[in-house]
Amino acid sequence: MQAFTTLKGLVAPMDRANVDTDAIIPKQFLKSIKRTGYGPFLFDEWRYEDRGEPGMDCTNRPEKKDFVLNQTRYRDASILLARENFGCGSSREHAPWALLGFGFRCIIAPSFADIFYNNCFKNGMLPIVMDGDALDGLFKACAEKEGYELTVDLQAQTVTTAAGEVLNFDVEPFRKHCLLNGLDDIALTLENSADIRVYEEKRRSDAPWLDL
């Protein structure tokens, strides 16, 4: 998993509440358990006039011009502003995979669905909970200035605007440690590989019949 330390990136605004995981990545794309390849299909039903299918070439698909991520100014965004209860609905891990595949590494919202929130950390993406007033200010600034950027520092737990305003956020220490060090569940387990080997050798000695 890619570690998250600091990120300076272009911001895109998703000014909708209760964005569910089926909107983020529709159900027909759940046929695959690969972690990559979902970026072109992010928000598929909102981005395109036709229906997307796994393996489809999206290069020449007709886009909905009024959808925010189809606007040229937001196509290279790596930070997403969102509203309440982002990532609600079914618990598909494909949702953070699709967001990452598009290029997002950080999402800032007033609240997230619990499972989606956990899945973000497990896949190298930082979800930041920010109160409504501060977030409203970011939405306003993003709309007013093309090329609006923010700098996110996980170690310091700050979001800094281009004007120098510093906004603080909270993150649970264990999740922060894992994200800073690029530790998903497998990598976290392998940190104890020496103890695991000792246990396995002792088990083979004490109960050799278990290996038969």
Q: Where are the domains of the chain?
A: 6-181
pLDDT of residue 150: 98
Percent of the chain with pLDDT over 90: 79
Quickly state the pLDDT bin for 197 (edges 50, 70, 90).
confident
- Mean pLDDT along residues 68-91: 95
Q: Is the pLDDT of residue 51 over 90?
A: yes
Q: What is the pLDDT of residue 183?
A: 87
The SS3 call for residue 80 is strand
Mean pLDDT of 91-106: 95
Judged against a pLDDT cut of 80, whether residue 44 lies above it is answered with: yes
Confidence band of 64 (pLDDT split at 50, 70, 90)? very high
Q: What percent of the chain has pLDDT over 70?
A: 100
pLDDT at 187: 76
Contacts 24+ apart (CB under 8 A), 176-182: 178/121, 179/3, 179/4, 179/121, 179/124, 179/126, 179/154, 180/3, 180/4, 180/5, 180/154, 180/155, 181/3, 182/1, 182/2, 182/3, 182/4, 182/124
Q: What backbone torsions phi and psi does residue 97 show, to the nearest 5 degrees?
A: -60, -40
Calpha distance 25→4 (Å, rounded): 23
For the segment 101-130, what is each residue's pLDDT rounded down to a tens digit?
999 999 999 999 999 999 999 999 999 999
- Are the C-beta atoms of residues 207 and 200 closer than 8 Å to each other? no
In DSSP terms, which residues pair with 81 in a beta bridge?
13, 108
- Rounded CA-CA distance 136/36 in Å is 32
Residue 211 has pLDDT above 80, yes or no: no
What's the pLDDT at 208?
Answer: 82
**Model pTM?**
0.89
pLDDT at position 133? 92
Chain center to CA of 55:
22
Contact 105, 9 (CB under 8 A): yes
For domain 6-181, give the CATH number.
Answer: 3.20.19.10
The mean of the pLDDT values for the chain is 93
pLDDT in tens, 133-152: 999 999 999 999 999 999 99
Angle between helices 94-102 and 114-122 (to 10 degrees): 60
pLDDT exceeds cutoff 90 at 33: no
Cα(86)–Cα(166) distance, rounded to whole angstroms? 23
The pLDDT assigned to 95 comes to: 96
Q: Which of 14-23, 69-78, 174-183, 192-201 has the lowest mean pLDDT?
A: 192-201
